[in-house]
Amino acid sequence: MESKKLLTILQMNDTHAYFDIHEEMFWQGNHIEYRKAGGYARIATIVKQIRDESQGNCLFCDCGDTLHGTYPALATQGQAMIPILNSMGLDAMTAHWEFAYGPTVFKQRLTELNYPMLANNVYDKETKKPVFQPYVVKEIDGLRIGLIGIASNIVDKTMPPLYSEGIYFTLGNDELPPIIDLLRMKEKVDLIVLISHLGFTQDMKLLSEVQGVDICLSGHTHNRLYKPVVIGKTILIQSGCHGSFLGRLDLEIVDGQITVYKHQLIEVEAAILPDPIVAELVKQALAPYKNELAEIVGETATALNRGTTLETTMDNFLLQALLENTGSQLAFSNGWRYGAPIVPGLIILNDLYNMIPMNPPVSTVELSGAEIREMLEENLERTFSCDPYHQMGGYVKRCLGLNVYFKIENPSGNRIQKLFVGNEEIQANKYYSAAFVTMQGVPQKYGRNRENRSEYSIDVLRTYLSSHRPLYAELRGTFIAV
């Protein structure tokens, strides 16, 4: 006789430590709309309701980028998040920006969490042994479920060296088949769930090469998948960012085979009543910073967001401030994906820390025209490579003072058609002064006379706002796909 089991899987990914409700960006017809969403207390309400509906036959997983991204999280090296996360009944997680505190601090945070961190692709440099457990087996209503984790593989490739001190990362694809075999043959699991922070396109390629994963919970690239993608026999979902969405997957399983599945991308709407226990924990976590972060620092006429690939108004604000502060010709910053929108009106200090929570120093450098072209081509390849495994960035590098006309579909090193500084075509041997933040803005290998200035990003943003009220930071057509 066949045995039918029901299971609900809930996915949280890329919440970036957004403790409470915040502005979020939504596409509507030919324009963008903003409305409030998110917050762990509202997420907890949804999860509790679904757990009740499913009579506890529920798996709740987190794909990482959770302990980093807002001021209270960074001020406590992720510790402020721990009581909240522990109250939510998560089953497992994997990671990415969590490594920004350094592997030692991250390991300490993990001792405080009441659920496991899984990664099959992080190794100790000296011993060559795995740093984290690669998998865990959960039993829910007689169903044996194997959970495998893959952490972001770019931590030791594109991020500051401190993040990967003493450890190295692989893609995790070679490690996957033996773990799948072990889970099937030895652990006798009915279902295999991959918790990944590789990104949507990398997961797609990985799952086209590796069979045996039933469900892939994908993170990193902030895709809002309103319906699942099926690769072979694997069902893949990804659920936005900032805790503005939860992914829900309802499964009917007969003799270890998924016979029916239903998916919903749930918006964590403002109208949802916050869970009182989690709301109190959030309040406690934010209390030490509440007054400081509520300080009004300016006003904006432009809606500031970071939700588009080629250029954003939020980063133009940052770059405008860098140019004014340094007097440089050009400004560069990383193509970060996280950062809740700031709607027209007053700007508070918290908004600035949401934009650039690390508050790095402002740096300057001189770059030759040839180096600028090479740096931009490298970044475009990392963003748009036709081989997903070579995609290692966030969005396109943020620039000001330049205009780039490029072809997305061209091969590596051949995308840029025309490149201008102001109205003049860039000259290979000429040097240009540039301001930037973080080594992702201008990697260490480029330029001469590199210098960290005494000013830090938040101060420079505040100064700029004090003399530009209201702020205008419209799109400039910096990158034009032709």
**Residue 230's Cα: distance from chain center in Å?**
23
- Cβ atoms of 150 and 197 within 8 Å: the answer is yes
pTM, 2 dp? 0.96
Reply yes or no on whether the pLDDT at 256 is more than 90: no
Q: Which pLDDT score is estimated for 393?
A: 77
Which residues, in sequence order, are CB contacts of 197 under 8 Å at separation 6+?
A: 13, 63, 64, 65, 94, 95, 96, 150, 151, 152, 219, 220
Q: Is the pLDDT of residue 394 over 90?
A: no
- Distance between CA 191 and CA 176 in Å, rounded? 15
DSSP labels for 274-322? PPHHHHHHHHHHHGGGHHHHT-EEEEESSPB----SS--HHHHHHHHHH
Can you tell me which residue has the tokens 């980063």? 315
pLDDT in tens, 142-187: 999 999 999 999 999 989 999 999 999 999 999 999 999 999 999 9
Residues 121-136 have pLDDT tens digits of 999 999 999 999 999 9
Question: What is the Rg, in whole angstroms, of the alpha carbon atoms belonging to the chain?
Answer: 23
Q: Following DSSP, what letter does each residue of 135-159 receive, concatenated? A: EEEEEETTEEEEEEEE--S-HHHHS
Task: List the structure tokens of 310.
Answer: 């080629």
Helices (H), 390-453: 438-441
Phi, psi of 417 (to 5 degrees): -90, -50
**Position 2 confidence tier, pLDDT thresholds 50, 70, 90:** low
Residue 1: pLDDT over 80 = no
Given a cut of 90, whether residue 3 has pLDDT beyond it is no
* Per-residue confidence (pLDDT) for residue 266, from 0 to 100: 98
pLDDT of residue 124: 97
Q: What are phi and psi of 16, to 5 degrees?
A: 50, 35
- 202-253 confidence digits (pLDDT tens): 999 999 999 999 999 999 999 999 999 999 999 999 999 999 999 999 999 9
**Element spanning 192, H or E:** strand 191-196
